[in-house]
Amino acid sequence: MNQIPVQQEIVKKHLDKLRIKDPGKASIREIVALINLIEEESKLKFVRMEMGVPGLPAAQVGVDAEIKALQAGVASVYPMMDGIKPLKYEASRFIKTFMNIDVDPASCIPTCGSMQGTFAALLVAGNVDQKKDTTLFLDPGFPVQKQQMTVMGHKHQSFDVFDFRGEKLREKLESYLVQGNINAMIYSNPNNPSWICFTEEELQIIGELATKYDVIVMEDLAYFGMDFRKDLYTPGKPPYQPTVAKYTENYVLFISASKIFSYAGQRAAIMAISNVLWNRQYDNLEKRFGSRPFGFTIVMQVLYALSSGITHSTQHALAAMFKAASDGEFNFIEDVKEYGRKAKIMKDLFVANGFTIVYEKDGDEPIADGFYFTIGYPGMTGGQLLENLLYYGISAITLKNTGSEKEGLRACVSHVKRDQFADLEQRLKLFNETYS
């Protein structure tokens, strides 16, 4: 008999309790709370794919450096607003080593996670020109960045890149930029949630149009180097992490330690502003913040007001991790390849049981296996699929939550243990027997 693992009443009861009318529209944190309650009552361990948290231990080289810094007494000392010197130097060197891009140490700024970096940069970008009052999101994307726009009261527009890959991206982007109201474009690469990676052709289009329309590109590299189709741990040699920085000078890069070094708890990232943009003067910034240069305004007006820098000891950790990586002593990419290996197995299990991969190609190439993948099931909306999978002990978030126009779910591999694969397979079989 087809035994559904979780009773309907349990799911319904907790949906009511958390006042979730439609699980398809619930936030990631709401889904987390819901599954916690269902797991507790049903005594069933879920295959949890809803939250993008690292599933690996923090990089030891960072932990050791941080302990050493604390023992040396840094906790009592305010760090410099724009970061300690060794970190700025190592961040700039890391960018040169793994991207082949020159950003001066002066414009490499530590932020309290990339979340703080994007908040500050989007705030300033939104004020460079009164006519440019809107930010453009190249979706699907990371939902919290839209929440940042809401918190700031800034306007944004977005489109799903699914149907606009390759040369088609140019016309679509231009249709927004030509309006003259866009201050910045933002995307993540590799992409959360779809794990697509923009091709060189697409990055070139984005860069060229950014220059043509004088728009700032915010390139979120939270998953730096994690396109495992190529080995990007080749210090000082190609292949490099692809970047828009090759094609425009109007860029800000965000390199987070959360996923690449499994350092999410310490909230550490680098915001690297191009040398040209760093020094660029905007009259409107003077009116709004009291200073004209883009870089100075971000650091000395906005970050100063937000948190006055980031944790002193964590800056030592970040410097040590960047240094070890650039010195060829810390292959951080090898450490996170486990996500790709797990994704391959999990994707195969889903596909073997009637699911499709929603975002499946970059140009002619199948997308990489990595931290996330996207799944759909014939005849079901993303919301229906999510709710139906809950009865089978599987959780994820809907793509609609991420600005995607596709029906389906984002699955995150990081918290699924290999010893759960057998359960996953059995539950997917049962699911497919019911719905096929």
Q: How many residues bind ligand PLP (CB under 6 A)?
A: 13
| Contact pattern from residue 43 through residue 82 relative to ligand PLP, giving x for each residue in contact according to CB under 6 A and a dash for the rest | ---------x------------------------------
Handedness of CA 236, 238, 241, 246 (dihedral sign): positive
Residue of the chain from 107, 135, 148, 192 that contacts ligand PLP (CB under 6 A): 192
Which CB, 116 or 353, lies closer to ligand PLP?
116
One DSSP character per residue, 296-315 reads HIIIIIIIHHHTSS--HHHH
| Contact pattern from residue 244 through residue 283 relative to ligand PLP, giving x for each residue in contact according to CB under 6 A and a dash for the rest | ------------x-x-----x----x--------------
Backbone angles phi, psi at 100, to 5 degrees: 60, 40
Which residue type sits at 103? V
Residue of the chain from 46, 98, 142, 355 that contacts ligand PLP (CB under 6 A): 142
* Site membership for ligand PLP, residue 220 (CB under 6 A): yes
Backbone angles phi, psi at 418, to 5 degrees: -55, -35
The stretch near ligand PLP (CB under 6 A) out of 23-31, 111-119, 160-168, 290-298 is: 111-119
Question: ∠ at Cα 153 (160, 117), nearest 5°?
Answer: 70
Question: Strands 409-412, 397-398: parallel, antiparallel or unpaired by DSSP?
Answer: antiparallel
* Site membership for ligand PLP, residue 115 (CB under 6 A): yes
One DSSP character per residue, 237-289 reads SSSPPP-GGGT-S-EEEEEEHHHHSS-GGG-EEEEEE-HHHHH-B-HHHHHHH
| Cβ at position 175, least distance to ligand PLP in Å | 25
* Site membership for ligand PLP, residue 31 (CB under 6 A): no
| Cβ at position 188, least distance to ligand PLP in Å | 4
- For the range 341-344, what are the long-range contacts, defined as Cβ-Cβ under 8 Å and sequence gap of 24 or more? 341/369, 342/413, 342/416, 342/418, 343/195, 343/369, 343/370, 343/371, 343/372, 343/373, 343/413, 344/369
Which CB, 113 or 126, lies closer to ligand PLP?
113
| Residues 293, 274: Cα–Cα separation, whole Å | 13
Which CB, 393 or 403, lies closer to ligand PLP?
403
* Site membership for ligand PLP, residue 370 (CB under 6 A): no
* Site membership for ligand PLP, residue 188 (CB under 6 A): yes
Residue of the chain from 107, 114, 262, 315 that contacts ligand PLP (CB under 6 A): 114
* Site membership for ligand PLP, residue 222 (CB under 6 A): yes
Query: By the criterion CB under 6 A, which residues form the site for ligand PLP?
Result: 52, 113-115, 142, 188, 192, 220, 222, 256, 258, 264, 269
